[in-house]
Amino acid sequence: MKNQTSAGPVVRDRQATRMKLIQAVGTILSEKGFTALGVNAVARKAGVDKVLIYRYFGGMEQLMEAFGRESDFWPSIQELAGGDQAAYARLPLSEKLSQLTLNYTRALQSRPLTLEIMAWEMVERNRLTAELEAMRESTIMHFYEKFFDQHKVNVDLQALTAVIGAGLSYLVTRGRNIDIFNGIDLKSDQGWQRIQAAINIIILAFLKDRSTDKPSKGDRHANK
């Protein structure tokens, strides 16, 4: 066993090299953004030859895919529920929705890399964006089943959350590049408080007189 190669320089470790490449993807994305992402840049950043990207992953697409899996890009159900799922489950529907939107906003704002990818999703579809999309749909779906299915409502809850969720995604993503949207200051806490306040009102008003957790009233006409 001559495993001690003296002052061994140049360690050869496939797994370590793979990791270096995967991490380099994240570094490039956060430093330069998606437009700068490519085999040359990633290999340079990782301090490794670019041919290894092809050898170990099959190409840039697959490397991005691997990058997508080995990170906490997307908030977990736990995080979206605010940490205590049992407590969350006991909240009334309006509170659940309100908390969800707040947690969602914070989760996004704390993930610059996710925002970078979400922005890129608008422009291009590749394995990384597809991977993230799948995660997202899956998480949201499970969240729905776990916490919302129990509530009997005669309103289109999916449409409501779609609009609000889309709105938040847009505002957070956009907030990286612009200061003011529609008169709201996206760089200040006060601006986000206005948004959150409006969403809370929307949720309360949307549910009011239109749904009850106890389906006893015979009221069924939702619109007009």
For residue 115, give the nearest of 67, 161, 177, 187 by alpha carbon.
177
Q: Which residue, 46 or 115, is less far from DNA as judged by CB?
A: 46
Count Cβ neighbours within 10 Å for each residue of 130-167 and write b for 16 or more, e otherwise: ebbbebbeebbeebeeebbeeeebeeebeebbeebbee
Q: Which residue, 13 or 209, is less far from DNA as judged by CB?
A: 13
Q: How far apart are alpha carbons 89 and 103 in whole angstroms? A: 15
For residue 105, give the nearest of 42, 179, 165 by alpha carbon.
165
Q: How far is the CB of 175 from a second copy (least distance, A)?
A: 10
Q: Which residue, 18 or 74, is less far from a second copy as judged by CB?
A: 74
Contact characters 18-57, DNA, x per CB under 7 A:
------------------x-xxxx-----xxxxxx-xx--
Q: Name residue 167's amino acid.
A: G
Q: How far is the CB of 81 from DNA (least distance, A)?
A: 39
Angle at 39 between CA 35 and CA 42, to 5 degrees: 80
Q: Which partner in DNA, a second copy, none is near 140 (CB below 5 to 8 A by kind)?
A: a second copy
Q: Name residue 99's amino acid.
A: Q
Q: How far is the CB of 30 from a second copy (least distance, A)?
A: 14
Given its phi and psi angles, is residue 183 left (phi above 0), alpha (psi -120 to 50 degrees) or beta? left
Q: Which partner in DNA, a second copy, none is near 41 (CB below 5 to 8 A by kind)?
A: DNA
Determine, following the binding rule CB under 7 A, whether residue 12 of this chain makes contact with DNA.
yes
Q: Which residue, 30 or 55, is less far from a second copy as judged by CB?
A: 30
Q: How far is the CB of 21 from DNA (least distance, A)?
A: 9
Q: Which residue, 49 or 145, is less far from a second copy as judged by CB?
A: 145
Q: Which of 22, 24, 60, 93 binds DNA (CB under 7 A)?
A: 60
Q: Which partner in DNA, a second copy, none is near 22 (CB below 5 to 8 A by kind)?
A: none
Distances (CA, A) of 26 to 132, 133, 195: 14, 18, 30
Q: Cα 168 to the chain's mean position, in Å?
A: 11
Q: Tell me which residues touch DNA (CB under 7 A).
A: 3, 5, 8-14, 16-17, 36, 38-41, 47-52, 54-55, 59-60
